[in-house]
Amino acid sequence: MSAEPPHSDGSVSDDYLHSDNDVTMWGNLTSVMMQRAARLTVDATPEPAVAGRTLTVKGKLTRADRENLRYSGYQGQKVVLQFRADGAGAYKAVKTITSGAGGALSTTTKATKSGSCRFVFAGTATTGTAQAAADHVKVTRH
């Protein structure tokens, strides 16, 4: 990155940076906020599920680890389990759980009807939001 004169009068500003790949930043550069990327997975079992029986939903919350250049488990974070019945328009919150060791997520709920479930993470000041790809579960009556 280079500091270049941003003004036609040749004045230089401490609040201006321009990189070699044509990214220009203006403003109070001492307060630029960067968030780590987050990822979520989800898997509901058993499939198919029997109506009225327990459905176990597991997953993992991870976030970018800049030091190791990989994603690592993100423990102690609130994650919402959501469900959308087949034919319904929107997901609805089922429950909120907290990620465990290594970012592990695990909860149970009663299987009532076929549909899709997913985990959603609202993010933090240091980590962005994430939403798992939906896992469809077929629920049978027997």
pLDDT higher than threshold 80 for residue 61: yes
Among 13-17, 76-80, 101-105, 112-116, the minimum mean pLDDT is found in 13-17
When mean pLDDT is compared across 17-26, 36-45, 73-82, the lowest value belongs to: 17-26
Cβ contacts of 74-78, under 8 Å, gap ≥ 24: 74/38, 74/99, 74/103, 74/127, 75/99, 75/100, 75/101, 75/102, 75/103, 77/103, 77/121, 77/124, 77/127, 78/121, 78/122
Q: Is the pLDDT of residue 28 over 90?
A: no
Give the residue, 7 or 28, on which the prediction is more confident: 28
